[in-house]
Amino acid sequence: MKREIDDAFRFTGARPSPPVPAPFLRLVETPQTVWILLAETGYEDHARVIWRHCQPGSTVEFRTEKDHLHNPEAIAAWLRCTSLFGLLPCWKKIGYVRAIQADQWALRLDEGSLQIERAVVSNCYADGDVPRVSLQIEFRN
């Protein structure tokens, strides 16, 4: 490449202009991946839902809850379940995003500046009073 530039300079007396990138090429954003552990999995009937329906790879959806008693920026995690022999899909609450992360994400989720591409259960442990559920979340800023 350097030799071609030197040859062009020698013959024309001017350096060639650099190639212009094609207008349709652009950088593609790659999603960021985070892993979180859910809070409040032992309250209400969350433990029963986790024990019956939760498994690695299950789909999770997030919904903000403005009327939450302790945190107005709470984000609830809802697990996709099936009922009626697997024919009807439904969503059941399994816990909340921890307050540290929820405070950062709640407003951005409502505005639409934080887009969750995919959220799935990465690991769950349902034995005992307080089950543990960890999620893998891919999002774009």
Give the type of residue at 34: V
To which residue do tokens 């329906």 refer?
Answer: 53
Contact 67, 97 (CB under 8 A): no
Q: What's the rounded mean pLDDT across residues 71-76? A: 90
The candidate with the shortest Cα–Cα distance to 119, out of 100, 97, 98, is: 97
pLDDT at residue 119 in the model: 94
Pick the CATH number of 24-140 from 2.170.120.20, 3.30.70.2330, 3.40.50.2020, 1.10.1790.20: 3.30.70.2330
The candidate with the shortest Cα–Cα distance to 141, out of 58, 59, 32, is: 32
The 10s digit of each residue's pLDDT in 32-53 is 899 999 999 988 888 889 998 8
Q: Bin 6: left if φ > 0, else alpha if -120 < ψ < 50, else beta.
A: alpha
Q: Secondary structure of the chain: what % helix, strand, coil (to 5)?
A: 25, 40, 40
Q: What are the structural domain ranges in the chain?
A: 24-140
Tokens of 68: 């939450």
To which residue do tokens 């209400």 refer?
Answer: 44
The 10s digit of each residue's pLDDT in 88-133 is 889 999 999 998 888 888 888 888 888 889 999 999 988 777 899 9
